[in-house]
């Protein structure tokens, strides 16, 4: 689960970066979405195999 939390923290940071850098916001938000997907996958794996 620590990996899922790390992905969630990364997503939050990327969202903050999107706010701070509007010219790069779209790329940061796409990356944040990927990190949230990876976090969900990590939680699902932990539930299935934990």
The dihedral through the CA atoms of 4, 5, 10, 16 has a sign that is positive
Q: What is the mean pLDDT of residues 33-44?
A: 97
Question: How far is Cα 29 from Cα 18, in angstroms, rounded to an integer?
Answer: 6
36 band by pLDDT with thresholds 50, 70 and 90: very high
- Domains identified in the chain, total number: 1
pLDDT reading at 25 higher than 80: yes
Q: Cα 49 from chain centroid?
A: 22
Domain extent at residue 39: 2-49
Share of the chain above pLDDT 70, in %: 100
Q: CA-based Rg of the chain, rounded to a whole angstrom?
A: 12
Instruction: Say what the pTM is.
Output: 0.89
CB 17, CB 24: distance < 8 Å: yes
pLDDT tens readout for residues 3-17: 999 999 999 999 999
């Amino acid at each position: 689960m620590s990996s899922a939390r790390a992905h969630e923290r990364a997503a939050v940071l990327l969202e903050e970066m999107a706010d701070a850098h509007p010219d790069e916001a779209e790329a940061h938000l796409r990356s944040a979405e990927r990190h949230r997907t990876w976090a969900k996958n990590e939680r699902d794996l932990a539930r299935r195999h934990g």
